[in-house]
Structure 1
Amino acid sequence: MTLPKVDIDCSKIFHNAQCLITQLGLKNISVTPVTKVFLGHPLIAEILIKAGAKTFADSRLENIQRLAQAGITQPKMLIRTPMLSQVTEVVKYCDISLNSEVDVIQQLSEAAKLTNTCHKIIIMVELGDLREGVMPERLIGFIQQIVTLPNINIMGIGTNLACRYGIATDHEKMALLSKIADELEAKFKLKFQMISGGNTASIDWALNNTRATRINHLRIGEAIFLGFDSLTQHQITGLHTNAITLTAEVIESKIKPSLPWGKRGTNAFGEKEEILDRGCVSQIIVALGRQDVCIAGLTPPDGMTIMSSTSDHLIIETSTESVMVGQTVKFNLDYSGLLSAMSSCFVRKSFNLIKVSQ
């Protein structure tokens, strides 16, 4: 067994995806799973297809290429504004892209024209989280510059919330997005197919909303894989929160003082934390570090407390029975932990391919 490793329970991911696709479907909202944290892994895509996924989304063109090269034929959406340097590949591999820059859309048009294809776009609208998006008052002028571009289909509008500042999805913001869609359709004689209301942070609003809305699409990754509401970090009812865990090996177990000694400066990362003298403590070191995973995204077992970390050592204090060298410690992961662990070449990925039924 090679450690550290991420264990992925595909049956639980299937369950989470199927639940969300079904429940949001009852609200007339389609779900596009975001495969970013799994780097576009074909095994995960196949599980999501069995759960009912009709499209896939990713922020990295390389991940979308991986899906295409693995024979995944479902439409694919690029959810980060395309780089000008990649427009040819975007048109080749992506059916849809989210956009907020006129120059980029113009170049997508040129690339699509050269290959005699039609590229679909979603125009992103800024609603307060201050990441990507056109300011609402500038949308008319924005669309005037792109509405007649050849080989471009304005499929709809969308927004992103919660990712930068944690701005919540609520009825006011979704009502505004719906109103903007109505006004743009009337102004330009368009008919939008998709009004994309955000990501995992929009699920609670979507499931509990009882008022009329144009929102008919969400881009969801975190809830499918981790079962949490990203805004509150509370479990979403009915979803598994332990589909993915990280296991690492203990390489030292000793009783040591809690207070270091000698002349002290900053550590290898420029940090100098305050330290209290708590006497001698039971300390273990796990073969896991910042080069492997975002340490802040780890939750250790009960009775263990993560104290500090270096590039390849994780120092934990334990209040339970003695932990022996060679034993393993299993951690739960939040989104930052999962994203970093899956992206690390030093962390092995183990897929539990229990057969799932459609």
Structure 2
Amino acid sequence: MSNPRLQIDSTKIAENAALLIKMLKPLSIDVVPVTKVFMGHPVIARLLIDAGATTLADSRIENVERMRRAGIKVPIMLIRTPMLSQVEQVVLNCNVSLNTELSTIQALSSTAKKLGVFHQVIIMVELGDLREGVMPDDLIKIIKETRSLPHISLKGIGANLTCRYGIAPDHHNMAFLAKIASEIETKFQLKLDIISGGNSANLLWAFSSDNINRVNQLRLGESIYFGVEALKKRCIIGAHTDTVKLIAEVIESNRKPSMPWGKRHKNAFGEQYETTNRGDVDQAILALGRQDVDPQGLISPQGLSIVSSSSDHIVIESTDTPLQIGQEIEFKIDYVGLLSAMTSPYVNKYFT
């Protein structure tokens, strides 16, 4: 196998998806797996469907198109507000999209009418994390306008928390979202099909709730792919946490001083950090760099530690025996690491 490489355990990911679907079903919460971290890879899409998913979600229309080209036919939700420059692609490939801007919904309506199709929208509500969402006081107006548009169907409302400021989903803000939904239904004499409560950070709330608040959908990525909830990174009972590994190869191994010498300036990334003299150390260089992966998303094996990185190299130190040229080093990887490694064309991807 070529290096560097991701080794992705498809079976464990499928089992995690099936587990979460089963765990949330008694709470009347549908799981919509988010495929963006795997760039809409058809292998992942198919295994999620086989695990019981009836709808998929992604934030990039390019990923959705990739799945459609591969023959994925289930409904797909676009979870980032559509760009005006991409509304035709969205209408052609996505059944539903999350929206916050009336002008965008109007563009979706116009395009859907021109193409002779219908497009569903979920209006996102701001609940405090200050990323995407209509302010609650403005919601009635945008829903009124949305309902008047041709070829557009109001599917429901939703929210997103944690991603910007780390605001936690809890009983208070989920109850507020449900209250808004009830008010909308009363005012417009309609029934909202979807109240989309959030992402993997919602799981602590969900598992401690009897869900009397009517939230009936969660958009899950990290919890499926890593077996943890996203708020406190707690392991989900029964889930696999060892689903993805990143393997890199040693290209240099030497015993070197721990202190650099000469006049110091900022490095290539504008960084300048303090070092301490620890004497000579066993240092190795991996053929892996920031152009391949965010080093902060890597968890080193016991006895090894990442000490620095550049665009093409990661420098590690060994506290045990020196590493050998050509030796493969296996890292655990978290969501941040996977997001960057999957995006890099220099990292090979292997599904098992």
TM-score w.r.t. length of structure 1: 0.97
> Which residue number in structure 1 is paired with residue 244 of structure 2?
244
Task: Give the distance between the partners of 1:234 and 1:252, measured in 2 at CA.
Answer: 37
Asked if 1 retains the 8 angstrom alpha-carbon contact of 2:178 and 2:214, the reply is yes
Amino acid at match of 2:171: H
How large is the RMSD of aligned CA atoms in angstroms?
Answer: 0.8
> Which residue number in structure 1 is paired with residue 147 of structure 2?
147
How far 1:340 sits from its partner (Å)? Answer: 0.4
> Which residue number in structure 1 is paired with residue 123 of structure 2?
123
> Which residue number in structure 2 is paired with residue 235 of structure 1?
235
Task: Give the distance between the partners of 2:211 and 2:253, measured in 1 at CA.
Answer: 57
Asked if 1 retains the 8 angstrom alpha-carbon contact of 2:27 and 2:210, the reply is no
The question of 1:269 aligning with 2:264 is answered no
TM-score w.r.t. length of structure 2: 0.99
> Which residue number in structure 2 is paired with residue 356 of structure 1?
none
> Which residue number in structure 2 is paired with residue 299 of structure 1?
299
Task: Give the distance between the partners of 2:144 and 2:28, measured in 1 at CA.
Answer: 30
> Which residue number in structure 2 is paired with residue 85 of structure 1?
85
For residues 1-358 of structure 1, the aligned pairs below 5 Å read: 1-352=1-352
How far 1:265 sits from its partner (Å)? Answer: 0.5
Task: Give the distance between the partners of 1:23 and 1:228, measured in 2 at CA.
Answer: 14
Deviations 1:213-232 (A, max 9, x none): 11000000111111122111
Task: Give the distance between the partners of 1:311 and 1:85, measured in 2 at CA.
Answer: 32
Give the percent of matched residue pairs that are identical in Structure 1 and Structure 2: 55
Gaps of 5+ in 2: none
How far 1:298 sits from its partner (Å)? Answer: 0.5
Secondary structure (helix, strand or coil) at the match of 1:122 reads strand
How far 1:144 sits from its partner (Å)? Answer: 2.1
Deviations 1:9-47 (A, max 9, x none): 011001100000111112110011000011111111111
Task: Give the distance between the partners of 2:296 and 2:276, measured in 1 at CA.
Answer: 21
How far 1:211 sits from its partner (Å)? Answer: 4.8
- Runs of at least 4 residues of structure 1 off by over 3 A? none
Amino acid at match of 1:66: R
Task: Give the distance between the partners of 1:245 and 1:285, measured in 2 at CA.
Answer: 19
Task: Give the distance between the partners of 1:241 and 1:312, measured in 2 at CA.
Answer: 28
How far 1:210 sits from its partner (Å)? Answer: 2.1
Secondary structure (helix, strand or coil) at the match of 1:146 reads helix
Aligned residues: 352
Amino acid at match of 2:39: L
Deviations 1:150-205 (A, max 9, x none): 11110000000111111111000100000000001111122100000000000121
How far 1:145 sits from its partner (Å)? Answer: 2.0
How far 1:134 sits from its partner (Å)? Answer: 0.3
Task: Give the distance between the partners of 2:294 and 2:228, measured in 1 at CA.
Answer: 18
Task: Give the distance between the partners of 1:165 and 1:128, measured in 2 at CA.
Answer: 9
Amino acid at match of 1:83: M
Task: Give the distance between the partners of 2:267 and 2:211, measured in 1 at CA.
Answer: 54
How far 1:323 sits from its partner (Å)? Answer: 1.4
